[in-house]
Amino acid sequence: MTLLYLILIPLLAGLAAWPAARVAPRAARGLCLAASLAQLVIAAILWQNTPTTGQWIETLSLPWIPQLGITFSLFLDGLSLLLILLTGLLGALAVLASWTAIRENVGFFHFNLMATLAGVTGVFLARDLILFYVFWELMLVPLYLLIRIWGGDRRVYAATKFFLFTQAGGLLLLLGILALAITHQRQTGTLTFDYLQLIGTALSPSQGVWLLLAFLAAFAVKLPALGLHPWLPDAHSQAPTAGSVVLAGLVLKAGGYGMLRFLIPLFPQAFPTIAPAAMALAVAGILYGAALAFAQDDLKRLIASSSISHMGFVLLGVFAANELALQGAVVVMIAHGLTTGTLFALAGAIDERLHTHHLDRLGGLWTDMPRMGGVTLFFVLAGLGLPGLAGFVGEFLVLLGAWQTSPVLAALASAGLVLSVVYSLRLMQRVFLGPKVGEETPRDLSAREWLMLSVMAAATIWVGLWPQRVLDASAPAVQNMQKSLSDAAGAPEARP
């Protein structure tokens, strides 16, 4: 039942915050903050009590739609756990970051924020594939409303684009899930959407490739992969701060999580067929994202474009598919969530003070806000992969893993690291250094901001210096993927 609480806590907090905000907005904010922290604490306790054998820490199964073989079943392994921890942490960050920025319809805002978090949590926990799809779509509507109502000037356009892209991918995922379940039903006679039962489904080669592509379409839109990314810069830059934090920190991770969770275990035969093309796409995305980031003159768009580059490493890691690369992909997701989420919070803080995030109208902020400058520098360095911080570990592991599969692609991808230095330093230079633009003297970090930023910084350092705990947590899942891949390669013709 703990798993159910993980989803219900943010959802109920959001429902309660809606009316509570009419009485006292602070109460609503406090409630949501407490809910996110509670999620974090529960996840941390689960982590402490991780059993040493088997992949699954906890599972839950309740009947839901028996006529269609759909159950309300959840499971949690180390991979989900890491992402739940990230959800709790970034949820708290999102609430804190919008503490003073959101003043209208506070209750509805927090309801939408918490509903999004509940949806993301559900995605990380779902065991039944239809349930996964339900959560996948469920986080869409509140996130849409967050962007639509509290977003920037072009919010309607950005919100609609985001929804359309995600929905298009989602429908293909639904077709894929149903086709997989029906194939399974024809073989075994039972209709089920249970992940653990569907894993063994035998597919013909062409079937496998089509289904893999259907699943991949949904995940690649969210990740996003090159070509499916146009929604991302708009959505991130137009969303309110909390929305950007959740989008960059968590929603993109849902794409990466989906790839890790489903692609290899469900389609081990078809996977190697797709892998080279997907890796090439990933490298193109890494380079393109970096170039795009360099060309932006909007702070939030710059950070958003850099996400395309970073998430390219996740795609590369997943499809390189050896243990190093897969582990690297997991760490990249955590690190990117921490650093980019915080960078968006910082961009929000700047926007709140100066009412712009356009690079031309920013500059020389260091003199007025040295502390914020320092913190930003720290997270920018973490993002570009400074050794000792979170970003380095993941991208390094992915590159090592990819080198074993394709040295050429790995070499090209590492060029992305160099480019990231360029755009990151440009960001620092345009915003904090150079001549001062504008008249105002914004105040430096408040106590609330100090608190949230230092926690995030501590987490970034911790993942960077002691990544072993993270790697241990995701190891069972990664090893199982390795096993299913080698099983499939060992007996390629044994299946119909």
Partner 1 sequence: MTALDLQALLPLVLTTATAIAVMIAVTITRRHGLAAWLCAAGLAAAIASIASARECAPRHISDLLVIDSFARFYSGLILAGSLVVAVLSYGYLKLRTDRHEEYYILLPLAAVGSLVIVCSANLLAFLLGLELLSICLFALIAYRRTGRGDLEAAVKYLILAGASSAFAVFGAALIYADRGSLAFGPPGLALSSPVALAGIAALLVGVGFKLALVPFHFWTPDVYQGAPAPIAGFIATVSKGAVFALALRYLSTENLLADGRIIWLLTAIAAASMLAGNLLALRQDNVKRMLAYSSIAHVGYLLIALLASASLGRPAAAIYLTAYFLASLGAFGVVGALSQPTRDADALADYRGLAWRRPFLAFTLTAMLLSLAGLPLTAGFVGKLSLVFSGVSSALWLLLSALVLGSVISIFYYLRLLAALFATPPASEPAISSPNTPWPTTAALLFLTVALLAIGLWPAPLLDLIQKMAVAAW
Report the C-alpha gap between 32 and 35 in whole angstroms: 5
- Of residues 166, 106, 96, 77, the one with CA closest to residue 341: 96
Piece of the chain touching partner 1 by CB under 8 A; list 170-178, 236-244, 410-418, 433-441: 170-178
Q: Is 319 in the site for partner 1 (CB under 8 A)?
A: no
Told to check if 49 binds partner 1 by CB under 8 A, we report no
Closest to partner 1 by CB, 221 or 473 = 221
Give just the sign of the alpha carbon dihedral 273, 278, 283, 284.
positive
CA pair distance 348, 299, nearest whole angstrom: 10
**Is residue 397 near partner 1 by the rule CB under 8 A?**
no
Q: Segment 128-157, which members bind partner 1 (CB under 8 A)?
A: 130, 133-135, 137-138, 140-141, 144-145, 148-149, 156
Among 62, 182, 202, 418, binds partner 1 (CB under 8 A): 182
Q: What is the distance between the alpha carbons of residues 321 and 211, in angstroms, rounded to a whole number?
A: 19
Q: Which stretch binds partner 1 (CB under 8 A): 16-24, 172-180, 259-267, 472-480?
A: 172-180
Q: How far apart are CA 259 and CA 169, in angstroms?
A: 13
> How do beta strands 70-77 and 56-65 pair?
antiparallel
Instruction: By CB under 8 A, tell whether 164 contacts partner 1.
Output: yes
CB of 163 to partner 1, least distance (A): 6
List the end-to-end C-alpha distance of the chain, in Å, as a whole number.
39
Q: Is 175 in the site for partner 1 (CB under 8 A)?
A: yes
Q: Counting contacts by CB under 8 A, is residue 189 touching partner 1?
A: no
Nearer to partner 1, 56 or 157 (CB): 157
Rounded-to-integer distance, Cα 436 and Cα 262, Å: 50
Q: Which stretch binds partner 1 (CB under 8 A): 39-47, 78-86, 161-169, 445-453?
A: 161-169
To partner 1, the closest distance from the beta carbon of 136 in angstroms equals 8
Of residues 8, 27, 60, 168, which one binds partner 1 by CB under 8 A? 168
Q: Which is nearer to partner 1, 173 or 332 (CB)?
A: 173
Among 4, 45, 65, 415, binds partner 1 (CB under 8 A): 65
Secondary structure (DSSP) of 44-60: HHHHHT--SSSSEEEEE
C-alpha span between 363 and 430 (Å, rounded): 6
The window from 163-171, 289-297, 331-339, 436-444 that contacts partner 1 (CB under 8 A) reads 163-171
The answer to whether residue 212 forms part of the interface with partner 1 (CB under 8 A) is no
Place of tokens 């582990």: 327
Given the complex with partner 1, which of 49 and 67 has the nearer CB atom? 67
Question: Site for partner 1 (CB under 8 A): which residue of 12, 27, 34, 172?
Answer: 172
Q: Does 159 bind partner 1 (CB under 8 A)?
A: yes
Binding mask 93-112 for partner 1 (x = CB under 8 A): ------------x-------
- Comparing CB distances to partner 1, the nearer of 145 and 302 is 145
Using the structure block, give the residue that is written with the tokens 């960078």.
343
* Residue 171 binds partner 1, judged by CB under 8 A: yes
| Per CB under 8 A, 66 contacts partner 1 | yes
Question: Does residue 213 belong to the site contacting partner 1 (CB under 8 A)?
Answer: no
Between 75 and 136, whose beta carbon lies closer to partner 1? 136
> How many other CB atoms sit within 10 Å of the CB of residue 53?
5
Q: Is 62 a residue that touches partner 1 (CB under 8 A)?
A: no
> Between residues 106 and 409, which has the closer beta carbon with respect to partner 1?
106
Backbone angles phi, psi at 171, to 5 degrees: -65, -35
Min separation Cβ 142 and partner 1, Å = 11
- What stretches of 51-154 show up as alpha helix (H) in DSSP? 78-97, 106-125, 129-138, 140-150
Looking at the DSSP assignment, which residues form a beta bridge with residue 358? 298
Residue 365: CA atoms inside 13 Å, Cβ hemisphere, count? Answer: 32
**Sign of the dihedral through C-alpha 411, 417, 419, 421:** negative
Give the rounded distance of the alpha carbon of 22 from its chain centre: 32
User: How many residues belong to the site for partner 1 (CB under 8 A)?
Assistant: 33
The dihedral over CA atoms of 112, 115, 119, 122, expressed in degrees to the nearest 10, equals: 170
- State the DSSP string of 227-270: TS-THHHHHHHHS-HHHHHHIIIIIHHHHHHHIIIIIHHH-TTT
Could you write out the DSSP letters of every residue in 148-207?
A: HHH--TTHHHHHHHHHHHHHHHHHHHHHHHHHHHHHHHHHHS----BHHHHTT----HHH
Residue 147 or residue 338: which is nearer to partner 1 going by CB?
A: 147
User: Does residue number 68 form part of the binding site for partner 1 (CB under 8 A)?
Assistant: yes
Binding site for partner 1 (CB under 8 A): 63-68, 105, 130, 133-135, 137-138, 140-141, 144-145, 148-149, 156, 159-160, 163-164, 167-168, 171-172, 174-175, 178-179, 182
